[in-house]
Every structure is written in C-alpha cells, then in structure tokens.
Amino acid sequence: MPTMMSFSTLSLRALLLLGVWHPGRRSFILAASFQEPPKNIAVVGAGIGGTAAAYFLRQEFGPAVKIDVFEPDAVGGRLATVKIGEHEYETGGAVIHPLNLHMKHFIEKLGIPPRKDLPSKMAIFDGKELVFEESDWFFVNFFRMLWRYGFGFLRMQMWVESILDKFMRIYQYQQFGYSFSTVERLLHAMGGDGFLTLMNQTLEEAMIGEGFSQVFINDVIAPITRVNYGQSVRVNGFVGAVSLAGADSGLWAVDGGNKRVCTGLLYNSKSELIPARVTSISVKVRPSKKGNTISLYEVNYVGESGSAHSLYDIVVIATPLHQGKSDIVFSGFSPPIPSHYSGLYHQTVTTMVHGKLNVSYLGTSEPASEFTVSDILTTDSKGCAINSLGSLDPVHIPDSYKRPSASHTTVWKVFSPRPLSQEQLQQMFLSYSSMSETPWLAYPAYRPPHRKTPPFILHDRMYYLNAVEWAASAMEMSAIAARNAALLAHHRWHEQVGKIDQEDLHTRLRGEL
C-alpha cells in the first residue's frame, strides 16, 4: 500500500509510535481550559456505532460522566449470529478490511483475537452457469483474468488503493482531535472534491471515466456490489469503491462473532445498558446552581417495566432516523427535527440453509465431491434470483475443522432481494434440515446524484451517527462516525471550535515540524 507522504510528513506508523492515537493525551494537555464535564450522556442504539460512541465518549469526557446506552434488541445491531446445530454463524456484517484501523484498535484493546483464516474459492454465476471459477493456483487465475480482461483487475486494485490512501487521512485528522459537522465536510477532508464527485456519479460512470471496459464492469464489478450492498453498479462511486475494497485480500473477522466487539466496547466504556426503546426526545429548560438556566434533553423510553424518562446533557443517536428503522419523535425543537429523513433503506433478505447444495443449479457438471467453491457471486442478469450464495464457517473455527465440499451437508447463506420461494429453495438444494429467513434493511439505497445528507449535529448537544451511512455503510464507517461525534461533543461542550470543520492539519504539522 503506498504511503501518504503527499499529505503529511508523518506516516501513520510514526503517529502510532508517538502515541497520538490515544485521545486522552490531547484531553490531558488541554484540561486546564475546560469547563465542568457533563454529568449524563445518552446513546441511542447498541450496534457498532453506538457502542463505539460510548467507548470514545468515555475517553473524551473521563470517568465521572454517566453514560446510558439504550437498546431494545440484542447488543450488536446489524452484527448478529445464529446457532445452527453445534455452531454459531455470522448473519450480519461479516468481514473487516486490514486497513480498518478503528476495528483493529478495538480488538487489540479488548483482547479479542481475529478468527482463524481458512482458504476460500470464488465463482461467478449468471443465473444459468458459472462464468468464472477460481482455481487453487494463483497463476492460473491470473492468466485467466489477463486473457479475458487484460490488466483490468490490476488497474482496479490500483484505483481502489488510490482511494484508500485518501480515505486513510481521516485517522490522522481524528488522532489530532479534528471533527466535522457534516458528512460532506468529512469526505472533503479525506479526498477533497474528488470524493464529492464520486458521490454524485454512479460507480459505472466513474469506472468508465477511468477507462474500464463495460464487459469488465458487468462481469467483475457488478457481482462485488451485489454481494456487498445488494445493488448494481449504479450505486454512487464512493460506496462502490468501499465495496471494491471489501473484495481485497487480507479480510478478517472476529473470533466468536463480530458482535463481540460491541459487547466488549460497551463493557470497556463502563456504560449502563438500558434494554428499552426510545420513543421521544424533547428539550427541557432547568435553573442552574449559578442562577441562570440550562437546557437538558428528556429521553422518553419504554422497557419491560413500562414507560420512563431521564434527563441528559448530551444525546448521541446511533440508529437510523428513516422510515422502517426508527420512530423517535423529536418535540419542541426549533427548527424542527424530522423523525424520518428522506431516502430509503434497501432490503436484503438473508436465508440461512443447513443442507446439501444442488451443484447442477449452478450449471456445472463438476461432481459435488470435487466442488469446493465457498463464495458464489452473481452477475446483474434477469435470470438470477439471488445476489450471492456462500458456504459459511462457524464464528469460532475448531482446530479439527475443515470446510466440507458440496457433497456434504453444510450451512449456506443466501442473499436475495426478496424472500426465496419453496420452489427456488428446492432448485438450489437437494435437501435441507433447517432454514431461517431474515429481512434486513441493512444499508441505504444508493442512488446518485447525492442529496444533502442528514447533519451530524441535530441540535446544540445532540448528534446523529448514522448520517455517515449515506456516504457508505460499513463497520469502520460507523466507528469513524462514532469517533467524530465524540470529538464534536467534546469540542462543542468546552466551546473549543478550532478543530471543527478545519482542514489545516497538514499546515499545522508542517509548522510544528
């Protein structure tokens, strides 16, 4: 991976070695000029965004503040597992990129090991037959791709790496305490006008502009966007690039399930989990000890014990404020805060099948005993009812475990835009002992041109993490938004605005050196 010397004379590795990754260092240096810390903070949602927010808020505001995390369902949100037979399997967010520094930091801090890596093979299915099947031999795969697409695959990796190089700038900004009030400003700090341009064109348009052929886009790029976001190459160029990064080598997952990061962050932050659904938030004005008035947020919620409410200095919303995802009512705010922002979340149905695959469904004559492909991607063709089909390994890999061939009963995960019919399941599987179906509103429907995203700042001291999903939805994007919200809350509470919406880090670093 090329370094970012054009952005800063200090590399990420050097910054980490200098210790500036730890946010407490900055807070300690500036503590003398701070006001009293807040007493109570509410975080609504205990997915990766909410639990990461609790973790970063604790680091920013110290041990005295009380942090409550509201979650009506299981901790983890869209990171979830299901038990089938003797093992648990990942049903939600599955893989993490090697350059996702927040996620790497979390598991190191929490002492959670990465999952044991197993070799895998990929194939591409057009609804009738396999148009590509990966070989066990690297050079065979390389020359097959070279013969069919020229150097398109290598050029794609170079294009994605150039975008990742810019993406990595956000870690330097956050290490030095910089925060941003809108998604657009955050993206501009990463990649300048180029990232905003990507948001306003489709991935297909961006790649044609870079000289990629339509055949390569249809055969290689579309299957990747379909498996990662359930959508075509007409998603915006930025989320498309994030999707392509998700096809990179070195991807990893957490031993025992990715949701363990959420439970670990919650515990590490010393937050109190309140198993309740937040129904409304309003502003309450109260007299202060100094004789003036202060405004607090009243959070109303419903749990097993009935309705209740509590007052908070700061509120962080870490659940999507969109139709079908949340029904929080914001009352008494001027200007008003909508309960639902515009835009729709895209439905992807996850079907977990414990059964024996019918390899003839894939149009291959290969015997099931020799079919060892674990990941089947699909092209964007009318005859294809699924987005992907994958053989799952348990979230914890036993030492004696070997991934079975298709002739054995195993667990398969099918992504599809709609629930699969009984007829479709019978076509895909010779037999199955169990089947579970989960419809996810997993990520936004990405339709450029880019409309203005919801703000990170909903009100004076109320922040909204999930605005970032309208740029791209991923575990690391949620963690970046969580760090950004904690920094915003910290700077605005202490009335230190010098590191909000500024892009002068490069200049400052050069001046300090």
Cβ–Cβ contacts within 10 Å for residue 469, how many? 25
DSSP 448: S
Across 196-225, average pLDDT: 94
Q: Does residue 18 surpass a pLDDT of 50? A: no
Q: Does residue 206 surpass a pLDDT of 90? A: yes
CA distances from 18 to 1, 9, 13, 30, 507 (A): 21, 14, 9, 18, 19
- CA gap 254, 92 in Å, rounded: 13
- Region of poorest pLDDT, from 265-274, 284-293, 307-316: 284-293
Higher pLDDT, 122 or 44: 44
CB hemisphere CA count around 396 (13 angstroms): 11
Q: Put residue 94 in one of left, alpha, beta given phi > 0 → left and psi -120 to 50 → alpha.
A: alpha
Across 374-392, average pLDDT: 91
Higher pLDDT, 504 or 396: 396
pTM of the predicted model as reported, rounded to 2 decimal places: 0.90
Higher pLDDT, 174 or 249: 174
Q: Can you give the pLDDT at residue 447?
A: 86
The partner residues of 350 in beta bridges, in order of sequence, read 415, 438
Q: Does residue 7 surpass a pLDDT of 90? A: no
The answer to whether the beta carbons of residues 412 and 320 sit under 8 Å apart is no
- Which tens digits make up the pLDDT trace of 33-85? 457 889 999 999 999 999 999 999 999 999 999 999 999 999 998 888 888 88
Q: Does residue 484 surpass a pLDDT of 70? A: yes
Phi, psi of 70 (to 5 degrees): -95, 130
The answer to whether the beta carbons of residues 82 and 92 sit under 8 Å apart is no
Q: Can you read off the two tokens belonging to residue 404?
A: 């079975």
Higher pLDDT, 183 or 440: 183
The answer to whether the beta carbons of residues 300 and 306 sit under 8 Å apart is no
Counted residue by residue, the chain has a size of 513
Q: Kindly tell me the burial class for residue 478, based on how many C-beta atoms sit within 10 Å of its own C-beta (0-12, 13-18, 19 or more).
A: buried
DSSP 221: I
Reduced 3-state DSSP string for 330-375? EECCCCCCCCCCCCCEEEEEEEEEEEEECHHHHCCCCCHHHCCCCE
Q: Does residue 221 surpass a pLDDT of 60? A: yes
Q: Which CATH class is domain 24-77+258-343+452-512?
A: alpha beta
Q: Can you give the pLDDT at residue 15?
A: 39
Q: Can you give the pLDDT at residue 510?
A: 66
- CA gap 266, 395 in Å, rounded: 20
Q: What does pLDDT average to over the chain?
A: 87
Q: Can you read off the two tokens belonging to residue 424?
A: 């479709």
Q: Does residue 142 surpass a pLDDT of 80? A: no
- Which tens digits make up the pLDDT trace of 328-357? 999 989 899 988 888 888 999 999 999 999
Q: Can you give the pLDDT at residue 34?
A: 56
CB hemisphere CA count around 488 (13 angstroms): 28
- DSSP H or E segment with residue 206: helix 203-209
Q: Does residue 480 surpass a pLDDT of 90? A: yes
- CA gap 260, 97 in Å, rounded: 17
Domain boundaries, the chain: 24-77+258-343+452-512
Q: Does residue 8 surpass a pLDDT of 60? A: no
User: Does 335 sit behind a cis peptide bond, omega within 30 degrees of 0 on the bond before it?
Assistant: yes
Q: Can you give the pLDDT at residue 13?
A: 40
Q: Does residue 25 surpass a pLDDT of 70? A: no
- Which tens digits make up the pLDDT trace of 172-201? 999 999 999 999 999 999 999 999 999 999
Q: CA 357, 362, 367, 371: dihedral to nearest 10 degrees?
A: -70
Q: Can you give the pLDDT at residue 291?
A: 65
Higher pLDDT, 275 or 399: 275
